[in-house]
Amino acid sequence: MRHQFIGLILYSSILFASPTIYGPTGVIEMPSAESIAYKQVNVAVDYAMNNYDDGEKKNNFYYKFNLGSFENWELGILGGSFLDEGVFVNMKYFLMSNQEEHPLSIAAGLERIGSNDDLATYLVTSKRFEGGLHGHFGFKAYFQDSLYASAMIGIEYFSDEKISFLADITGEKNESYVLNGGTKIFIDNDIALRLYLIDITKNRAAKETLYTFGLSLSKYI
């Protein structure tokens, strides 16, 4: 039993760092302080259904790529059919990670560099707990038109070596908060299916929950 538990913790530690919907490694929309390793890449594609744009139904495609470019840095890009500005760049710097069995990590980053409206900076902390639970807390600030800051909170729970359940809450510039939920199903050590429900609370302008499904892959180069 002890060996199974240790295996689960190691397995979840390796597989945890996968891209969010909008690029940086993290939970669903919330970036985390968990990192990809040096010379490791992760990519993900997600297909979103029931997305309403100016009152019309529109399905969107998202792709993202992250690289552990050099020590303590993660660099990535975000693209997709929902963008009119080409691609965005994301940067994350890992400020601290202790060497305990259940480590605490802190990271800061810039999200959507190149965006006209959604450039943001964030500070997050992540903590692993016994039993396969990972917790995250942080703050994000938008500052292009006017300064708006909000809190973020997220969790990921590994029920076994093949399935994890995720949820996060992120703030919007309209001063509302969005709840997201979902699951990841691991096909292999490096590959996971992603099934997410975005904006369960329907607080965004579209007033519709966005259903996404996709695939993520992590490899060393």
Q: Give me 76's structure tokens.
A: 């990535």
- Residue 58: pLDDT band (50, 70, 90) is low
Considering the domain 2-220 in this protein, what is its CATH number? 2.40.160.40
For residue 3, pLDDT over 50 is answered with no
Residue 10 φ/ψ, nearest 5 degrees: -65, -40
* Residue ranges per structural domain of the chain: 2-220
Single out the residue of 125, 98, 85, 97 nearest to residue 109, CA to CA.
125
Which tens digits make up the pLDDT trace of 69-86? 877 899 999 998 877 777
- Measure the CA–CA gap between 153 and 208, rounded to whole angstroms: 22
Which tens digits make up the pLDDT trace of 107-148? 999 999 988 888 999 999 999 898 889 999 999 998 877 788
Tell me how long the chain is: 221
Q: Which residues make Cβ contacts (< 8 Å) with residue 61, sequence separation at least 6?
A: 45, 46, 47, 48, 80, 81, 82
- Measure the CA–CA gap between 143 and 141, rounded to whole angstroms: 6
CB atoms within 10 A of CB 191: 14
The predicted model gives 148-160 an average pLDDT of: 93
The predicted model gives 202-208 an average pLDDT of: 80
The predicted model gives 154-178 an average pLDDT of: 90
Kindly state the DSSP code that residue 209 receives in the 8-state scheme. P
Is 0.95 surpassed by the pTM of this model? Answer: no
pLDDT at 181: 98
The predicted model gives 54-73 an average pLDDT of: 80
Q: Give me 44's structure tokens.
A: 């993900």
